[in-house]
Structure 1
Amino acid sequence: MATRYRFGVEEFERLFQGVKHLELLEGEIYEMSPIGPRHVFAVAQLDKRLQALLGEEAVIAVQSPLRLSPDSEPEPDLQVLKPPLEQYSERLPEPQDVLLLIEVADTSLDHDRRKLALYAKAGIPEVWIVNPVENLLEVYRHPQEDHYRLREILFPGEAKAPLAFPHRPIPWS
């Protein structure tokens, strides 16, 4: 007989501190696939653009944990957070801190799309999924219960302004 274990974020953090490429989602631990060069490039490029366009108006967290709920702690590729940076010195970001969340789905598209329900339930106002395989940007806005009311697809060369920064279009490709 197999035994299934469920974890809360405190237990997860204590038991798996320092172990890379793990996410806790609804009490279950997921091992993420290794990050490849296309993924690293896309994250670094977006980080550089976000830093340049938003400056001190936001905090950009790269591949950092987000305390989503008592049993979920994903590690999105990029989080655009409310400043100041110092508020995160003693705690992890939480849903009310997130202005925009970005996942780069090089090999994890299905997994990242499954996380959308958790992000919507937590009230994350906007999620972007960069899909380098199909060369598309999926924009999800306006969470309602466990889904987003708006889904938009953008093609290469089309920039998008986040809801929190409507006059700051960000090129994603």
Structure 2
Amino acid sequence: MKATGFMGPCYAKAMATRYRFGLEEYERLFRGIRDVELLAGEVYRMSPIGPKHAWSVARLNRLFTEALGDRAVVWPQNPIRIPPHSEPQPDLALLRPKSYGEGLPTPEDVLLLVEVAETSLEHDQGLKLSLYAQAGIPEVWVLDLKENRLHVYRTPKAGVYTEHRILLPGEEAEPLAFPGVRIPWS
């Protein structure tokens, strides 16, 4: 675009734009690259996993597997597809029982997502929680390792969770999809 000023002709600079990845392009370009996830079309490097975080995921994985048996697929640190621009990797997901060997689970398959936050609480409760609510995922737990609290989010409407409850150590959590199943998260 040509513009003129008091010093004569000048040329306006083009503004930089972000590039948004779609799912297929992301999967093609980033397959095999560890510790990245696609959120709202942008690629994010995931926080390193420390021992407390790793132990919490392993413990929850065992608790859910023992409590639910074959009533759900326990999906630890694996991606889910949220078309058209997101492929997050929650720390744990409970999925409807079926085989996922031919395609990644989508929001319709998800019963519960769990994010374990040691250094990523703001990110998990911000962008990721918003994506999950927009996708209609019925329940998300965010385990805050620093404060030793479990945030339980339920009932997504209009892109936000309308229910938020905080559990303290000693209080058990009960997944919405499995009434009567008590998980000692702390």
Using structure 1 for the length normalisation, give the TM-score. Answer: 0.96
- Report the residue type matching 1:116 in the other structure: L
The equivalent of 1:33 in structure 2 is 47
Gapped regions of structure 2 (runs ≥ 5): 1-14
Which of 112, 124, 135 is 2:124 aligned to?
112
Secondary structure of the equivalent of 2:47?
coil
Matches within 5 A, 1:1-173: 2=16, 4-84=18-98, 86=99, 88-114=100-126, 115-173=128-186
Take 1:143 and 1:27, find their aligned partners in 2: how far apart are those partners? 21
Gapped regions of structure 1 (runs ≥ 5): none
- Report the residue type matching 2:112 in the other structure: L
Larger Rg computed on CA atoms = 2
- Report the residue type matching 2:174 in the other structure: A
Take 1:118 and 1:81, find their aligned partners in 2: how far apart are those partners? 17
Question: 1:70-129: CA deviations, max 9, x gaps?
Answer: 101100000000002x2x010000000000000001111011011111101100000000
- Report the residue type matching 2:92 in the other structure: L
Alpha carbon RMSD of aligned pairs, Å? Answer: 1.0
Take 1:130 and 1:117, find their aligned partners in 2: how far apart are those partners? 16
Runs of 4+ in structure 1 off by over 3 angstroms are none
Take 1:156 and 1:20, find their aligned partners in 2: how far apart are those partners? 33
Taking every aligned residue pair, what percent have the same amino acid on both sides?
58
Take 1:6 and 1:118, find their aligned partners in 2: how far apart are those partners? 15
